Amino acid sequence: MNDPKTPQYSPLRTHLGRTVLITGAGQGIGAALAAGFLARGAAVGLLDIAPAHLSLRAAELNKAGARLAAAVADVADHAAVTQAVGRLSETLGATFDVVVCNAGISPKHEGRGVTMQDMDPAEWTRVVDVNLNGTFNVVHATVPQMIATGYGRIITIASVAGRTYFRHVGAHYAASKAAVIGFTKHLAGELGPHGITVNALAPGRIVTPLIHSVSQEVNDQVAAATPLGRLGEPEEVAEVALFLTSDAARFVTGQVIDVAGGWLMT
């Protein structure tokens, strides 16, 4: 009997024939996204800054004989992203019609987010470069072909920290994720006439390597404050992205969907 807390992927081939780009694909939510899209028949391009994580994930997923390609790039580097997208597209033999901008960082110092007044300006710049500018760079590299084909699905990964105060992150992370939400809504209006939908997911505390940047006590506190009484699983975020990029959600755009177990209700 399956553990009810462990989501199981449906065998439905809802993304058959689609080509998907996932950033931050080496672990956590990105890895769950890759597995989910592959299970639903898509060809998937993996992009990550960490070669070791990327190689391990690609090797695991390739065991199923999937249509898969991987490339190393820093999403904050526009030229590197453009080149990586080109290489992945060439390897997969198709342009990307689904993009999930998942790569992001949230620096901690001794298990805590640094206060704004103590923040190194270089750290602020790096977080904004990855979380916000990285999202722009990936979309900027892939949207032209979506416009050309008249079809596209874009998912950005925001955070509940971009919607309200969350004391366990820094101001740079909160500001960058709030900006991602604004970017998403604007883009939905701009790209809607071209047949492209753009939606954001705002996860709460999800069980990924990032949760180990703070103490277990903090994670327990967040779980206790969540109406469902636990942290989320990467697959639970992936499932929502899979729905929003399927034909079932073709009339849904410009939305911010919390995947946070009810932690934030507005």
* DSSP β-ladder status, 196-203 and 98-101: unpaired
* DSSP β-ladder status, 43-48 and 152-157: unpaired
> Which residue type is seen at 7?
P
173 is catalytic: yes
In whole angstroms, what is the distance from residue 18 CA to residue 65 CA?
Answer: 17
User: What are the residues whose beta carbons fall under 8 Å from the beta carbon of 24, sequence distance 6 or more?
Assistant: 30, 47, 48, 75, 102, 103, 104
> Which residue type is seen at 176?
S
Do 33 and 241 meet the contact criterion of CB atoms below 8 Å apart?
yes
Catalytic residue numbers, as ranges: 173
